[in-house]
A and B are shown apart, each in its own frame.
Chain A
Amino acid sequence: MSNHDTGHEAGNELVTHAPGALPDKFENPGHPEHHDRLGDNDPKANKKAERQVVVLFAISVLATLGFLVAYFTLPPGETPESMLRSNLALGLGLALSLLGIGLAAVHWAKALMNDHEKSEERHVQRSSDENRAGAVAALKDGAEDSAIGRRGVLQGAMISALALFPLAIIVPIVGNVGGDWNVSKFRHTMWKKGTKLATDPTGRPIKAADVTIGSVFHVIPEDLDEAEHPLDEKAKAVVLLVRLDPADLNEAEDRKGWSYDGIVAYSKICTHVGCPVALYEQQTHHLLCPCHQSTFDVANGARVVFGPAKRPLPQLPITVDDEGYLIAQSDFTEPVGPSYWERLK
């Protein structure tokens, strides 16, 4: 450990040199002088710092005791207020207990411990030539001992064995982890001819007459609860039901029969990455996705008017049954939700 080389005066000398006789670079002037702290020379200040450290440790002790008291006397209880009180008391106790120790230790190090800087040599990472040669020799000797270079078949057999064995781990993982791997399930939802449209989450069937202009219904298939995996089915089957003034509604020729008296039903799953597109603005007939702001125009076949989605929301063909309840004519005619590679295949 070397301390403080010289070189302080180098700068001033330069002025007297003739240009040309000077080095290309300045020289490192060496370590600056050490400045004593207040406590290094004043025993009073030193004592004061020590007292501060003691007080900080004492705060920590008291806070831990306080934490324990709060733990036993302040249960979370039944109301938000009592939960808040419990959390606050425990949290402040813990925080002070920790901060007391932390600040005490740091203050101790800063104010009371020896603050003279030390210097240590560095060594390059590279091994010496001798060691490198030794390493190469060691490997060569090992290879020689095993004679792997001369036994080609053995080499091949070993490599094949090592390369193949991970399959015994990977194949079962990959094979099982994807369930049945039947990705064609993306294409179908629970909706089928005659399924009643019901309100989400209460499951009440909806009559066409109940859907007034300007209202929006969040819809699930009435028999959702009977599904084997209701959440999986719900993730595809949720639908928004909206009634527009027929004057506002522009329908494609081939979809004229898909609505009922100005009532249209569109998939609620965004064609971008699948968030529920649920913000219906009654005046503009726009549907907005709160995740990435794709905006769909319900009056015009739910085509995209803004944002990162490309395709319109799939439309669910609907009609009414004898009692006036809204029912599906069929499943969606295209996969709902985000695009995927084989979507159109």
Chain B
Amino acid sequence: MKALAARRQDRRAPIVLLLLALLLTGGLYAVLAPTSADATPVKASTNDIDTGEKLFQANCATCHGPAASGTASGPSLIGVGAAAVDFQVGTGRMPMQMNGPQAQVKPVQFDQEQINQLAAFVASLGAGPAIPTAEQVDPALGDVANGMLIFRTNCAMCHNAVGAGGALSQGKFAPNLWATTPTHLYEAMLTGPQSMPVFNDANITPEEKRDIIAFIDQQGGTSPGGLDLGALGPVSEGLWAWVVGMGLLIGAAVWIGAKSS
């Protein structure tokens, strides 16, 4: 269902493109678009903290420094905990390949074992949040209604009322949450990646975090009224009213006004 939702978003793109293309030329787009991408090769090898350190030296030390204490191009990782590593590497955000406004989701560069090794190494540098257990993130154990209340106060202003994503300043954005795994959702709240603030356990308790996960789990699926039009609110509804509604009705009017052959 979530994969379906993700694909639906792709289909919408041409229509929104049409909207913008009316005003912004491709040239303008090129000027404003953040610059993209040069790939870094990735290597990997064996087990435990030492292996993790090797992985770290090979893939992360360039930006985060050999001792993980940070450089001009990457923050210190001492004390960020295993949760931060699992989130950043597990969603493909790290290693970063693009000098954009923010690190973006892309294909994951390591397998889960390697991620765990990296996490173990970073966790060994200083105390920090651990990767949550399966029970902590099980949507079936959460209270959806309470999740809705917590989510809309703490999350909806950036991620949209149902987690469809939204804009931040200067080209940054809060991503769509429908395809994010429960573990990564939990870790993101706990560690506050990038622009996102930290929501520690005093702010949103572990049970409340699970409630939020339960709420997100229900979004992006079937919408009772039909196609959800991206769950983006009145703008996409207006666009569809004009394109589909007025399109069909004017088409019918032309048919009515035309002489029969």
Direct A–B touching in the complex (beta carbon < 8 Å)?
A: yes
A→B interface (CB under 8 Å)? 35, 37-39, 76, 79-81, 83-84, 87-88, 91, 106, 110-111, 115, 199-202, 206-207, 210-218, 242, 276, 278-284, 286, 288, 290, 293, 295, 306
Cα–Cα, bound, A278→B154 (Å): 8
Q: A288 contacts which of B150, B168, B198 (Cβ < 8 Å)? A: B168
Q: Which residues of B contact A84 (CB under 8 A)?
A: 222-226
Cα–Cα, bound, A84→B195 (Å): 37
Cα–Cα, bound, A69→B242 (Å): 32
Cross-chain pairs A/B with CB under 8 angstroms, 15 sampled: A76-B224, A83-B224, A88-B226, A110-B259, A202-B150, A215-B192, A215-B198, A215-B203, A218-B153, A242-B197, A280-B197, A281-B172, A282-B194, A282-B196, A284-B195
Inter-subunit contact B198/A212 (CB<8 Å): yes
Cα–Cα, bound, A282→B192 (Å): 8
Cα–Cα, bound, A220→B172 (Å): 29
From known contacts A37-B261, A201-B150, A288-B169, infer whether A106 and B195 are also in contact, taking CB-CB under 8 Å: no
Interface membership of B31, Cβ < 8 A: no
- As a 0/1 sequence over residues 194 to 238 of chain B, the CB contacts with chain A under 8 angstroms (1 = contact) are 111111101100001000000000000111111000000000000
Which residues of B (134-190) have their CB < 8 Å from a CB of A?
Answer: 149-150, 153-154, 157-158, 166, 168-169, 172, 174
Q: Which residues of B contact A91 (CB under 8 A)?
A: 226
Q: Which residues of B contact A111 (CB under 8 A)?
A: 260
Cα–Cα, bound, A37→B259 (Å): 9
Inter-subunit contact B169/A278 (CB<8 Å): no
Q: Which residues of B contact A281 (CB under 8 A)?
A: 168-169, 172, 195
Cα–Cα, bound, A279→B255 (Å): 49
Interface membership of B23, Cβ < 8 A: no
Q: Which residue of B lies closest to A106 (CB)?
A: B256
Q: Which residues of A contact B223 (CB under 8 A)?
A: 80, 84
Cα–Cα, bound, A282→B195 (Å): 5
Q: How far is the CB of A41 from chain B (nearest CB, A)?
A: 12
Q: Which residues of A contact B192 (CB under 8 A)?
A: 214-215, 282
Q: Which residues of B contact A276 (CB under 8 A)?
A: 157
Q: B149 contacts which of A201, A213, A284, A290 (Cβ < 8 Å)? A: A201
Q: Which residue of A lies closest to B75 (CB)?
A: A283
B→A interface (CB under 8 Å)? 149-150, 153-154, 157-158, 166, 168-169, 172, 174, 192, 194-200, 202-203, 208, 221-226, 255-256, 258-261
Q: Which residues of B contact A80 (CB under 8 A)?
A: 221-224
Cα–Cα, bound, A4→B225 (Å): 54
6 other A-B residue contacts (CB within 8 Å) besides A214-B192, A281-B172? A79-B222, A210-B202, A212-B198, A217-B203, A282-B195, A295-B169
Cα–Cα, bound, A216→B260 (Å): 67
Q: Which residues of A contact B158 (CB under 8 A)?
A: 278-279, 290
Q: Which residue of B lies closest to A305 (CB)?
A: B169
From known contacts A200-B153, A279-B157, infer whether A210 and B203 are also in contact, taking CB-CB under 8 Å: yes
**Mostly helix, strand, loop or mixed at chain B's interface?**
loop
Q: A81 contacts which of B153, B166, B222, B259 (Cβ < 8 Å)? A: B222
Inter-subunit contact B226/A87 (CB<8 Å): yes
Q: Which residues of B contact A202 (CB under 8 A)?
A: 150, 208
Q: How far is the CB of A77 from chain B (nearest CB, A)?
A: 10
Inter-subunit contact B157/A106 (CB<8 Å): no
Cα–Cα, bound, A76→B208 (Å): 30
Q: A106 contacts which of B169, B196, B255, B261 (Cβ < 8 Å)? A: B255
Q: Which residues of B contact A218 (CB under 8 A)?
A: 153-154
Q: Which residue of B lies closest to A91 (CB)?
A: B226
Inter-subunit contact A282/B198 (CB<8 Å): yes
Cα–Cα, bound, A37→B192 (Å): 72
Q: How far is the CB of B181 from chain A (nearest CB, A)?
A: 22
Cα–Cα, bound, A15→B198 (Å): 87
Q: Which residue of A lies closest to B260 (CB)?
A: A110
Q: Which residue of A lies closest to B224 (CB)?
A: A83
Inter-subunit contact A214/B197 (CB<8 Å): yes
Q: How far is the CB of A273 from chain B (nearest CB, A)?
A: 16
Q: Which residues of A contact B225 (CB under 8 A)?
A: 83-84, 87
Cα–Cα, bound, A290→B158 (Å): 8
Cα–Cα, bound, A284→B169 (Å): 10
The 7 A-B residue pairs whose C-beta atoms are closest, nearest first, are A210-B202, A83-B224, A278-B157, A216-B197, A215-B198, A281-B195, A110-B260
Q: Which residue of B lies closest to A109 (CB)?
A: B256
Q: Which residue of B lies closest to A80 (CB)?
A: B222
Inter-subunit contact B202/A87 (CB<8 Å): no
Inter-subunit contact B199/A215 (CB<8 Å): yes
Q: Which residues of B contact A214 (CB under 8 A)?
A: 192, 197-198
Q: Which residue of B lies closest to A206 (CB)?
A: B202
Q: A290 contacts which of B166, B200, B222, B224 (Cβ < 8 Å)? A: B166
Q: Which residues of B contact A207 (CB under 8 A)?
A: 202
Q: Which residue of B lies closest to A112 (CB)?
A: B260
Q: How far is the CB of B91 from chain A (nearest CB, A)?
A: 18
Cα–Cα, bound, A214→B172 (Å): 17
Inter-subunit contact A279/B168 (CB<8 Å): yes
Q: Which residues of B contact A210 (CB under 8 A)?
A: 200, 202-203
